[in-house]
A and B are shown apart, each in its own frame.
Chain A
Amino acid sequence: MNGMVWALLGAALAVVLAGCGSAYGVGVAGQAASGVVTEDPSKFAKVLIIQLLPGTQGIYGLLVAFITLSKIGLLGGAAAELSMTTGLLICAACLPIGIVGLISAIHQGKTAVAAIGVVAKKPDQFGKAMLFPAMVETYAILSLLMSILAVNAINV
């Protein structure tokens, strides 16, 4: 098997896993947000911001996939010749954001639901409510960083 397959698998995993997590997170948060808006439409902007918070993992996944694709030359130019080892290395480098993205987005979604509950009852506590989902995101950011640094460091 060509190393390219592994590299592409890694990029796909980053997008797929993190994207699934974000879809779930934004989905549950959206349900809670809709509930709040039926009661009080004026809170729309606030709950929308909180709903969007778990969406970032999907973007981080896309980011890593994009860096990977441009690294292995699939975006314009000639595709690089990858050895099996290099392919596996790239795949491994993509895993942090994929896996952590998936799980952190799910949990961030649940936290966002709770934060939307805070905004529904105490709209003036928006700043604090927003912080709770943002805490979860820290770990997605750390794994994103690792994925970027690792993909960048691999010599193709």
Chain B
Amino acid sequence: MSVLQMQRFSICAMKKDRKAILEELQTIGILEVDTSVIESQDLQKMDTLPQRQLFERTAAQADQALEVLNQYEPEKTSMLSSLEGKALVDKDAYQKMVDNKDTLLQSANEIMALSKEIAESSAAIIRLETQIETLAPWLNLDVPISYSGTKRTAVIIGSIGKTAALEEIYSEIAFHAGEVEAMDIQIISESSNQTCIAATCLREDAQALEDALRTMSFSRPAQTSSLAPAVQKSKLEQEIAAFQSIIVETEGKIRAKASDREELKWFSDYYRVRAQKYDVLGTIPQSKRTFLISGYVPERVSAGLEKLMAEKYDLVVDIEEIPEEEEIPILLRNGKFAGAVEGVLESYGLPTRHEFDPSRIMSVFYIFFFGLMLSDAGYGLLMAVVCGILVKKYPRMTEGTAKMLRLFMCCGISTVFWGVLFGGYFGDAIQIVASVFFKTEVTIPPLWFAPLDDPMRLLIYSMLFGLIHLFVGLGIKGFMCMKDKQYLDFFCDVVLWFAFLIGLVMILLPSSMFRSMSQMDISFSPALNTLAKVLALGGMIGLLLMSGRSSKNPVLRIALGAYDLYNVTGWLSDVLSYSRLLALGLATGVIASVMNQMGSMMGSGIFGAIVFILVFVIGHLFNMGINILGAYVHTNRLQYVEFFGKFYEGGGKKFTPFKAMTNYVEVKEEK
């Protein structure tokens, strides 16, 4: 249970075994390398950065090639494929891939080159299409745009930057160049912002005519093709078609490469793992003949690791205890059941070395509260079964996902438990179906009571569960104080609070206020009543005097004590916070009933049944989704804020052993 004790594991070995030893360690994956403690001027570290970067680049190249492959020949994946985990690769097949890694690199490069070709062709097509677009106004012209005329006549082709009628152009020319008489102007095309024209005149008049036209913002076109626009267009279209067929052909070539996909994945992982190895290699100190490697290993495996390494290689292993004050990387070890909440704990922060690992206690409360918030037997059963099937069906999913699913499976079972207690089976589905479709009244009595009929009762229970949860939290704090032998802290911060709070609760229970709220009549014997007062008063005075014990100044000490007493409001709000157990539980049940009611509105015929089934499936899936989310978020909150607030700090560093971290595959080890 709990935080695993670590030991410092140092190896000194011959340089000739360096590669083999590093690979061995990487495969075993149980040592977190930390060479910062080794100090020596005589030892040198290798600069592995260039190689590492080369390997990383190669892995990235393969990844890009895989991405291109996926773009043109998408891999068939099911929705649940992310649960399947990494594929297992036979060691021999993997070795074969490593042997022919050069061909694979070439293949990756080819794929990238092909993809570049496609990109270039696409760009060329876009360029040609723009050219065709600029040709569009000139399509009616049957000479090339750059045509300048015959021996005696000149042809001026260009556009006027506005819409102009033929008469307007003629009159404008007559005004500016009256001497030009023989001319012919044709409008090729007209649009809202330009008029394309071709003007013919004698060569000697050409200059005058063009000057006259320029007063109407005439300009010559930018194209200088020697082909008539229509011919030019069809030529460009042919070029586009050629590029398109290149694209199709290149895509075909890429698809043909899809057979390399699997090996490319291994290839990428191979270089990724090598880069990781070189990363570590760069941190280990080396002398001329030997090298040192040191790091953290869990105590329970260190002896085994030593034996294994000493058998295979000539080396010296040194195992030492880590000094108390030094922080260690944190690895938790809990059973399958309590381990399931480790993910939840981790997202708050792992415990530090000297802290108590709350996983085991937390898992019980987590599952208990989750079930209480969801509290519908139907939903719980569905959740437990789905999670159970997924865990069974995909045994190779990542550890984190597996933990999460196992946790939800347990939560589902707890939800069934609470659902039965409260009588919720998809809300009131069974009653509704019976009364609408079979005209019979069925009542399913809840095993305990229906929350909607007596919400006050469940509210009281919610707060009771909350108080227990909080007291356990305070108890853990006490346990930690005892473990650290801080008996004064234990008494002042834990025992006094327990006395004070229990006294207050015992005063509250027989009071008329509580009786009117809960309709429960609790009366204590006079002795108990006195005990309550003594506990509360004693606790209060104790806290007042002792909480500020760190301060020497007596006035300040009392003031700090009074301030600490004020924390009782914090306890009140913490306990009230557990009312969400009731609110969320009611939400699930009532919305489920709304769905059932909506479904049954169409009456009892065939049509009514179809509508009911549709509304039932969609509505309950929606309700389930939203309430599982709510239960998850608020269970987390109760753990993080209320429970952890009493004793837990977190902030431990996760144990990250040196091992092969791959993206796609895992190599099967020979057993």
| Alpha-carbon separation in the docked complex, A42 to B228 (Å) | 54
Query: Contacting B626 at CB < 8 Å: which of A55, A131, A152?
Result: A55
Interface presence of B363 (CB below 8 A): no
Known: A59-B591, A131-B636, A145-B582. Contact between A138 and B347, CB under 8 A? no
Which of A3-11, A60-68, A81-89 lines the interface with chain B? A60-68
Once the chains bind, are A145 and B583 in contact (CB under 8 Å)? yes
Contacts A56-B626, A59-B591, A66-B590 given: A141-B636 contact, CB under 8 Å? Answer: no
Evaluate whether A135 and B641 lie within 8 angstroms (CB atoms) in the complex, with A130-B633, A152-B455 already known. Answer: yes
Contact among A56, A62, A76 for B630, CB-based, below 8 A: A56
Q: Are A66 and B636 in contact (CB under 8 A)?
A: no
Shortest distance from the beta carbon of B323 to any chain A beta carbon, whole Å: 29
Q: A56-B630, A59-B591, A75-B597 are in contact. Are A130 and B636 (CB under 8 A)?
A: yes
Residue of B with least CB distance to A67: B590
Q: Are B587 and A63 in contact (CB under 8 A)?
A: yes
Contacts of B407 in A (CB 8 A): none
Expressed in whole angstroms, the Cα–Cα distance for A141 and B597 within the complex equals 24
**CB proximity to A under 8 Å, residues B286-335:** none
A55 to B577, CA, bound (A): 20
Which listed residue, B344, B346, B587, touches A60 by the CB 8 Å rule? B587
Complex Cα gap A66–B598 (Å): 12
Question: For A126, what are the chain B residues with a Cβ–Cβ distance below 8 Å?
Answer: 347
Task: Give the contacting residue for A131; candidates B593, B629, B637; CB below 8 A.
Answer: B637
CA distance A103 to B459 in the complex (A): 25
Is A79's beta carbon under 8 Å from chain B?
Answer: no
- In the assembled complex, which residues on chain A have CB atoms less than 8 Å from the CB atom of B597? 75-76
Kindly identify, within residues 439 to 497 of chain B, every residue whose CB is under 8 Å from any CB belonging to chain A. 452, 455-456, 459
Name the interface residues of B550-595: CB closer than 8 Å to any CB of A.
576-577, 579-580, 582-584, 586-587, 590-591, 593-594
Q: Do residues B344 and A141 form an inter-chain contact, with CB atoms below 8 A?
A: no
Distance, CA A65 to CA B458, complexed state (A): 21
Q: Does A156 contact B (CB under 8 A)?
A: no
Is A128 touching B626 in the complex (CB atoms < 8 A)? no
| Selected contact of B594 from candidates A53, A62, A76, A141, CB within 8 Å | A62
Measured in the bound complex, the distance between the Cα atoms of B587 and A141 in whole Å is 10
Whether A141 pairs with B456 at a CB distance below 8 angstroms is: no
CB distance from B436 to the nearest CB of A (A): 11
How far is it, in angstroms, between the C-alpha of A53 and the C-alpha of B626 when the chains are bound? 9
Whether B641 lies near A148 (C-beta < 8 A) is no
Residues of chain A with a CB closer than 8 A to B630's CB: 56
Q: Using an 8 Å CB-CB cutoff, how does the interface string of A74-105 with B read, 1 for contact, 0 for none?
A: 01100000000000000000000000000000
A100 to B633, CA, bound (A): 20
A149 with B456: CB separation less than 8 A: yes
B591 touches A62 (CB 8 A): yes
Q: Is B394 an interface residue (CB 8 A)?
A: no
Closest partner residue, chain B, to A60 (CB atom): B587
Which residues of chain A are near B637, meaning CB under 8 Å? 131, 134-135, 138
Q: Is B243 an interface residue (CB 8 A)?
A: no
Bound-state Cα–Cα, A77 to B452, Å: 19
* Chain A residue total in the interface (Cβ 8 A): 31
> Chain A 98-139 against B: per-residue CB contact (8 Å), 1 yes, 0 no?
000000000000000000000000001111101100110110
- Interface flags, B341-358, vs A, CB<8A=1, else 0: 000101110000000000
Question: For the complex, what is the distance from the CA of A137 to the CA of B637, rounded to whole Å?
Answer: 11
State how many angstroms separate the Cβ of A156 from the closest Cβ of chain B.
15
B348 contacts which of A56, A59, A128, A142 (Cβ < 8 Å)? A128
Please determine whether B590 and A131 come into contact, CB atoms closer than 8 angstroms.
Answer: no
Say if the beta carbon of B15 comes within 8 Å of chain A: no
Q: Is the interface of B mostly helix, strand, loop or mixed?
A: helix
Query: Nearest Cβ distance between residue A40 and chain B, in whole angstroms?
Result: 15
Q: A37 interface residue, CB < 8 Å from B?
A: no
Contact of B365 with A by CB under 8 A? no
**Are B626 and A52 in contact (CB-based, < 8 A)?**
yes
Q: How far is the CB of B457 from chain A (nearest CB, A)?
A: 12
Q: Complex formed: what's the CA distance from A52 to B629 in Å?
A: 9
Contact A127 B590, beta carbon cutoff 8 Å: no
**Nearest chain A residue, comparing its CB with the CB of B348:** A127
Closest Cβ–Cβ distance, residue B373 to chain A (whole Å)? 11
B634 within 8 A of A: yes
When C-beta atoms are compared, the residue in chain A nearest to B454 turns out to be: A152
> Is B583 within 8 A of A148, CB to CB?
yes
Enumerate chain B residues within 8 angstroms of A49, measured Cβ to Cβ. 629
Residues of B within 8 A of A128 (CB): 347-348
B600 to A, closest residue via Cβ: A76
Residue A144 CB within 8 A of the other chain:
yes
A141 in contact with B580 (CB, 8 Å)? yes
Distance (Å) between the CB of A132 and the closest chain B CB?
10
B640 at the interface (CB under 8 A from A): yes
> B369-389 vs A: 1/0 string, CB under 8 Å?
000000000000000000000
Q: How far is the CA of A137 from the CA of B583 in the complex (A)?
A: 12
Q: Which among B459, B577, B583, B584 has the highest number of chain A CB atoms within 10 Å?
A: B583
B573 to chain A, nearest CB (A): 9
Q: Does the CB pair A66–B579 fall under 8 Å? A: no
Distance, CA A145 to CA B460, complexed state (A):
13
User: In the assembled complex, how far is the CB of residue B82 from the closest CB belonging to chain A, in whole angstroms?
Assistant: 10
- Chain A residues, Cβ within 8 Å of B348: 127-128
* Inter-subunit contact A149/B455 (CB<8 Å): yes
A24 and B146 alpha carbons, distance in the complex (Å)? 62
Determine how close the nearest CB of chain B comes to the CB of A133; give it in whole angstroms: 8
Which among B459, B587, B626 has the highest number of chain A CB atoms within 10 Å? B587
Q: Which residue of A lies closest to B594 (CB)?
A: A66
With CB as the reference atom, state the residue of chain B lying closest to A143: B583
Contacts of B626 in A (CB 8 A): 52, 55-56, 59
- CB atoms of B347 and A59 under 8 A apart: no
Closest B residue by C-beta to A75: B597
CB neighbours of A137 from chain B (8 A): 633-634
Q: Which residues of A contact B577 (CB under 8 A)?
A: 138
A127: shortest Cβ distance to chain B, in Å?
Answer: 2
Q: What would be 5 A-B contacts, judged by CB atoms less than 8 Å apart?
A: A60-B587, A67-B452, A131-B640, A131-B641, A135-B641
A134-B636, A145-B459 provided; 11 other pairs, C-beta below 8 A?
A60-B583, A62-B591, A66-B591, A127-B636, A127-B640, A128-B347, A135-B637, A142-B579, A145-B582, A148-B583, A149-B456
List 9 A-B pairs, minimum CB-CB distance, nearest first.
A127-B347, A141-B580, A141-B583, A134-B637, A145-B583, A134-B633, A63-B590, A144-B583, A145-B579
